[in-house]
Chain A
């Protein structure tokens, strides 16, 4: 029997880069096939080609042995290919039924026939989705299943899932994998894109690794370890998030007490947040997105006015300070969304390396911008933090994500900070840049900074933090000890599923995630 999907020699060039080069692999019917690769390896481009969003320059796509010319997603849908995007495309104020039939009205109408079809698909594949629920009321996990149902409703036999677990907590991931196994047993084919190797190993029947735009190997999950897989992805030895001996002091640098931020509704966005970070300490905050992390950071940075509570920087009360004063006082800030909050994309790099520090030496003299000083500072930061760029005059837009993030971290570390607030510092960067960024955070810790690390990557949190707190519905949990806590424990706390006493979860060290005891790397910097 012909494979469900077969790609042969797919090549796609964008100006200046080859996104895919000679990509070749095939997917058997009734299997879950994972595509792994670091960010920027070309996975997304490949999937867009398969879904008809963009066209390959060379190569062939065969479905069930038949060559296909995919000009648009509707061609792909006709060929039985469906795609579930990472970001859901659902209208909140419509019901599941309405969302599903939207754009597919011709298939089963928009009323009872459609409702029956939805219920049938839901029952057949164990999706547990109900046609008349309002999407606004649904959780992330169910929304994802609605997206899957949407695709099945349109007759897809081959499902592409783009990083489906990125938005899920561990328990939801397990549910998703159960669904995928169900789909597989019904004869459907699933192509699953991820860079989370443990997940891939647990669910996939076959794994294709992509590196730098091309397929380097297709492997059997039973015969590889996640470490081998990662090395295939990176093409070199793998860094890991871990810290060396504790550097925590008893000198509090950032102390927050009773911080509350009223919300639009009845519930506070942040409620009675109290935490203390000492010099040389990394405090990690875990949580499902939208539980108040962003607001916590913005309150600390003076971008939101707290309703109640105090924020102390060393022994100064900065609760009422303006953002600029807070930054000048030595709070470095790595925002969650670097494009929106940390960069002027159209401005040259040297103007970006002074952003947030445009009142500090060497960037200004009095009211004047000291362009020469700022440029020299930029050269130094870019060299020291290994930002790969031909010059300080190119725009920030022309750098890769990893280089942009290294620039931001270099910048925030270069103006003698005392506290570093880092929100998702490695989100969307490649493995190489991730390792460098981890090094910089370790160095900050070693140099006696107090670091607030907010991340969705539990391994990163466990690896880098001295203390972990979980934020749920605007409230902080008690402390977890990263040496003993597991991702499962954190996941439970993140969803509120655990009502046991937090901090006493050291029951099963055997299930700990990768916390390899690497020594510190990165002695290469130095000022």
Chain B
């Protein structure tokens, strides 16, 4: 089993914050030129840099920090099926090598960060996508994927003519269920009678659902045949297959993590009406920037709609007619008038 070990859970993001039309939070576009030479350690999940997804998004934030802040990065990647101790060892070796600020990418690192952070109080950690490890020297960077998904769910319902839409999750884990919860609620808020087909491609510990376009294509084709006309692909690399199925059926699809209408092949670009954007790169960059400024804050930093950490893209102009309605929902969420659940 190509257990893409745990983690690719994250697998959901493609790089690309700059493409968003939303405002970036905090000092995203800062031009600070603190040629700090600060040493930043980065522990990726399985796949690492070059996975075209979640890890790459974090890498993009790191690259930006290197270019703009002059930090000295050191990267290490998880190995398939490795034991827990290997993750701990990775963090420890980064610390041993003098990297006193360490970013752990993916919730699989939670137990190791918890342990290693406790033993190394002088080292500062950023843990992406998890609040399972907390401490005075841990900053948890999480995203309100449910809120972003609410908006694209609403968009799907507004665009659907058949009253039937679909959701494809890569792997059946809690993180992706957050996407589902927001998407379903968004759609039902617009049209209480709408039918939402839900399908997860694989079950853990089989994480291939985040990287198997063929599985995505089959699942999406099935949904389109059963009457769906918009399908949301919360499935990392498998989304490519969903877009192909949409193009073949002449229907619509929604991308995830980055603005996929920009990065997808030309022949499927037109079917991607919008994408739910999750700004892992921004979160990474923010953390590094704070570190260079000596402003570490422990605790959970939630990148939600309010903070601009999630959102929807408008590339292609297919959102133009409903943008006003979506922005109204967005405001209601920011104002707390709509509370989006995290579990379906």
Asked whether the complex places CB atoms of A and B closer than 8 A, the reply is: no
Residues in A lying within 8 Å of B, measured CB to CB: none
